[in-house]
Structure 1
Amino acid sequence: MISTQLAHAVSLSLSLSLLALPAFAGDSFADAITGGKPSLDARYRYESVSQENALKAANASTLRLRFGYETGEFKGFGVMLEGEHLSVLGTDNYNSTTNRKTAYSIIADPEFTEVNQAYLSYSGLPNTKLKYGRQRIVLDNQRFIGNVGWRQNEQTFDGLTVVNQSLPATTITAGYIYNANRVFSDQSKPPVATFANVGNAHMKSPILNVSYKGWRVGEIVGYGYLLDYADFATSSTQTWGLRLKGDTAIAEGMKLLYTAEYASQSDYKKNPANYSVDYAFLEAGLAKGVNIVKLGYELLEGNGTKSFQTPLATLHAFNGWADIFLTTPVNGLKDAYLGAGSALYGIKLDAIYHDYRADKGNARYGTEWNLQVTKPIAKNYLIGIKYASYNAKTFSVDTDKVWLWGEAKF
């Protein structure tokens, strides 16, 4: 079901187009409509989850189809429409969060048919692009705002964004989000037991991200995300941060990679709590050709009651692929990791080892291995296999996950 906000956005887009028809009449308007860009993204995936608890092992075989069309521009205006559909192939022996099979472990890929993107764009202002409606928003490394592209139903946002590049080497992204279309689909509706099961997160949330790439040392980014949830006041936070990412040559064919980031998060708007917690990220690496090794440390502070959260992030990309820490524990999280990647005969190989500890009290939560093999085929196809194994010490339970997938993008 299309949300009220999305319906309003689509209605506005169509109304503006119709109002402009007299000016659009002629070959130029026809060219904008017929000369657009269609897109198709198909992904089959098998996922298996086994946990050391009372839940049954879960197995999901799913096929996701995403199809869209973006018109060309006329007098700066354009329209993008994109739909998604997921089908379960065979028996759905897993808890999709909407199929009521709660005896199984969760694999958050429910069956759905939804509008993924539907927005009106305008680029008639110098060095500026505006989008209004349902859209994909990906900022920096997606630690705070991302599309959760790993799940079959990606996360998109209803709102307004403005991207400006008028200043040298600078990109300013400003926006206002009034709904997050989460991976659990529109079928996951209140009343539910927890925030994590809701498919839509209504909010009034200004966002700002400023990136400057003119410094020789690397890209520096400053950001502020003011998340004001309509239905979950305890999740409303304001986050302000600074990020530096760069590299430098240290030998022939070899680069030193480095990233440093700090952010502070506190209660916002109607959040009844009164607190402030910090985030820190440090990563260093060496890269030579297709070979890379990285050592990193990420801190999400917790005080025993509240902890640093990133609910709009592409969370699967952080703190292990087993997804144990999608919500930061109240005692916080310290993630020290070592990763390596290479390629052989066009096959990409990745391995990461994580050691997780509490910020408050330093209890050892557990350790995790992540392994992945992917193979691009031509430019439109990709196949892969992925494995995550979490070994619990004092937090959660032993968890093993396996994925096999193939995708095609046009």
Structure 2
Amino acid sequence: MGIPLPATRFLHHAGLVLAILGGASPAWAATAAESSGPVVEVRVRHESVDDDAFSRDAEADTLRLRLGYRWLFAPGWQLYADGEHVESLFGDRYNSTANGRTAYPVVADPEADEINQAWIGYHDDAFNAALGRQRVMLDNQRFFGNVGWRQNEQTFDAFATGYAFEGGGPVLRYVYLDRALRVFGHENPNPSLREWSLDGHLLHLDQALPLGSLAAYAYWVENKDVETLSTRTFGARWTGQHAFDGATLAWALEWADQSDYANNPTAQSARYRLVEPRVSIKGITLTAGWEVLGGDGQSAFSTPYATLHAFNGWVDRFLTTPLNGLDDRYFSVSGKFGKASWTANYHDYRADHGNQDYGHEFGVSIGCPFGSHFNGLLKLADYRSDGFAADVRKLWASIEYRY
């Protein structure tokens, strides 16, 4: 399917793209909406970065306003559109990737005004479909996600469809990707940071098991702007949980194989593996994990469309996998007191090929809702490179409103 979608192309250049909600879209949850109405989201965030590679620290105070409207106009059908406005509140003492302030560390929240989503959707108990600009979120977003941590969200011009077979059968999803609208904003002066032109085919199968759930996937993605990101990926993911007396054991096991595809000029072959057991006892959850993105010194396993901030540490040192791969061994503990939720984690990084030490990171966060619409977050991460790169410390404080 290398043929562009005419309707998608037309609406993209008009500044408005329709999307039908699909099983691969995060808006899947919105199909349960009971009434039409506005959507309002406001997030004010302070992010400071102390990076030893720079003589100046970054201080970014940004506002993200998202306004949308959902219209349920017929049984099973709805229309939705939203737009984003991102601005800097108190000057540009940071490199937004678009403001030219390269003497400062990067805080990738450039000012922008853009259409984030716009879709028309249909769903019933078994079938759903999607066409146009939308979120694409699969599994834990390790391969495809909306990068909701950044002020500018990642969305895709895409076609998506899903079908749930009866009698406990599998859920089958297919997504065609035409374009990725990246987190760096559609007004970024660098075209490659604004968007990527894609020819991607995503197949995803979920099957409930007597113990847990098994997902199998096959992703063929040609990136027409960054040819080395054109890959085919095949993998499987098993997740589940089992309750014991006073405790719950949960797990995630995943394996994937990735190779070059379509216009990729380099021969690539790398593997991904994840082992993550988790136990919850008396309101405290302990997680241990081992995640490996393979590399051979020439190329490495890549996940460029993922919600990367959720993986391999919060300072985002490993948004691009080093050519020798990444071996991330981590531990976290989390819980609640009152309405507040807290998490502390530790990562130890090394190369998959050659066993080079990449350093370690400690992170802690606390979030608390206020009333029914507000949420506050305080978060800190400290990366020590052990000689691999520069040390980095980051601090975030944010308040978010959702209606």
Same fold judged by TM-score > 0.5? Answer: yes
> 5+ unaligned residues in a row in structure 1: which ranges?
17-33
In structure 1, the partner of 2:23 is: none
In structure 2, the partner of 1:130 is: 129
Distance 1:408 1:168, change over 3 A: farther
* Structure number, greater radius of gyration: 1
- Which runs of structure 2 are paired with 1:212-231 in the superposition (5 Å)? 212-213=207-208, 215-231=209-225
Determine the C-alpha separation between the residues in 1 that align with 2:111 and 2:229.
Answer: 27
In structure 2, the partner of 1:266 is: 259
Determine the C-alpha separation between the residues in 2 that align with 1:262 and 1:157.
Answer: 25
Quote the offset at 1:78 in angstroms: 2.6
- Which runs of structure 2 are paired with 1:111-126 in the superposition (5 Å)? 111-123=111-123
Aligned length: 382
Contact 2:222–2:262, Cα closer than 8 Å, also in 1: yes
Quote the offset at 1:175 in angstroms: 0.8
Q: Aligned pair 1:85/2:82, yes or no?
A: no
Distance 1:37 1:165, change over 3 A: farther
In structure 2, the partner of 1:153 is: 152
Distance 1:95 1:6, change over 3 A: farther
Quote the offset at 1:12 in angstroms: 8.0
Distance 1:355 1:121, change over 3 A: same
Quote the offset at 1:335 in angstroms: 0.2
1:346 aligned partner, one-letter code: K
Contact 1:85–1:111, Cα closer than 8 Å, also in 2: yes
Quote the offset at 1:189 in angstroms: 4.3
Quote the offset at 1:216 in angstroms: 2.1
Render the CA deviation track for 1:366-406: whole Å, top value 9, x for unaligned. 00001001111233211010001000124221000000001
In structure 2, the partner of 1:172 is: 172
Q: Aligned pair 1:7/2:6, yes or no?
A: no
Please say which of residues 66-75 and 266-275 is displaced more in the overlay.
Answer: 66-75
Distance 1:153 1:357, change over 3 A: same
Contact 2:292–2:328, Cα closer than 8 Å, also in 1: yes
Quote the offset at 1:109 in angstroms: 0.3
1:298 aligned partner, one-letter code: E
Q: Aligned pair 1:208/2:213, yes or no?
A: no
Q: Which has the higher contact order (CA 8 A, sep 6+)?
A: 2
Determine the C-alpha separation between the residues in 2 that align with 1:10 and 1:288.
Answer: 50
Any idea what SS the aligned residue of 2:346 has? strand
Distance 1:104 1:10, change over 3 A: closer
The percent identity for this pair of structures is 38
Determine the C-alpha separation between the residues in 1 that align with 2:337 and 2:67.
Answer: 33
Determine the C-alpha separation between the residues in 1 that align with 2:73 and 2:128.
Answer: 12
Determine the C-alpha separation between the residues in 2 that align with 1:319 and 1:151.
Answer: 16
1:79 aligned partner, one-letter code: L
In structure 2, the partner of 1:393 is: 386
Distance 1:393 1:130, change over 3 A: same
Quote the offset at 1:172 in angstroms: 1.8
Render the CA deviation track for 1:61-102: whole Å, top value 9, x for unaligned. 011011111210426443211111012111111000000111
Any idea what SS the aligned residue of 1:396 has? coil
Determine the C-alpha separation between the residues in 2 that align with 1:141 and 1:258.
Answer: 13
Q: Which one of 297, 306, 311 corresponds to residue 304 of structure 1?
A: 297
Contact 1:128–1:166, Cα closer than 8 Å, also in 2: no
Q: Aligned pair 1:291/2:296, yes or no?
A: no
Please say which of residues 328-337 and 179-188 is displaced more in the overlay.
Answer: 179-188
Contact 1:135–1:157, Cα closer than 8 Å, also in 2: yes
Determine the C-alpha separation between the residues in 2 that align with 1:306 and 1:223.
Answer: 22
Render the CA deviation track for 1:9-30: whole Å, top value 9, x for unaligned. 877859x9xxxxxxxxxxxxxx
- Which runs of structure 2 are paired with 1:185-204 in the superposition (5 Å)? 185-190=185-190, 198-204=193-199
1:180 aligned partner, one-letter code: A
Contact 2:201–2:220, Cα closer than 8 Å, also in 1: yes
In structure 2, the partner of 1:257 is: 250
Please say which of residues 35-44 and 179-188 is displaced more in the overlay.
Answer: 35-44
- Which runs of structure 2 are paired with 1:14-29 in the superposition (5 Å)? none
**Normalized against structure 2, the TM-score is what?**
0.90
Any idea what SS the aligned residue of 2:228 has? helix
Any idea what SS the aligned residue of 2:322 has? coil
2:305 aligned partner, one-letter code: L
Q: Which one of 328, 339, 360 corresponds to residue 335 of structure 1?
A: 328
Any idea what SS the aligned residue of 2:223 has? coil
Quote the offset at 1:6 in angstroms: 4.0
Contact 1:324–1:396, Cα closer than 8 Å, also in 2: no
Determine the C-alpha separation between the residues in 2 that align with 1:300 and 1:293.
Answer: 23
In structure 1, the partner of 2:52 is: 52
Quote the offset at 1:122 in angstroms: 2.6
Any idea what SS the aligned residue of 2:309 has? helix
Distance 1:63 1:13, change over 3 A: closer
Distance 1:270 1:224, change over 3 A: same
> 5+ unaligned residues in a row in structure 2: which ranges?
1-7, 21-33
Determine the C-alpha separation between the residues in 1 that align with 2:155 and 2:112.
Answer: 15
Render the CA deviation track for 1:13-65: whole Å, top value 9, x for unaligned. 59x9xxxxxxxxxxxxxxxxx95232111111000001111352100001101
**Normalized against structure 1, the TM-score is what?**
0.89
In structure 2, the partner of 1:163 is: 162
CA RMSD of aligned residues (A): 2.1
Render the CA deviation track for 1:107-136: whole Å, top value 9, x for unaligned. 000011110001222337x61111211101
Q: Which one of 375, 378, 398 corresponds to residue 382 of structure 1?
A: 375
Contact 1:338–1:352, Cα closer than 8 Å, also in 2: yes
Determine the C-alpha separation between the residues in 2 that align with 1:78 and 1:393.
Answer: 53
In structure 2, the partner of 1:235 is: 229
Any idea what SS the aligned residue of 2:185 has? coil
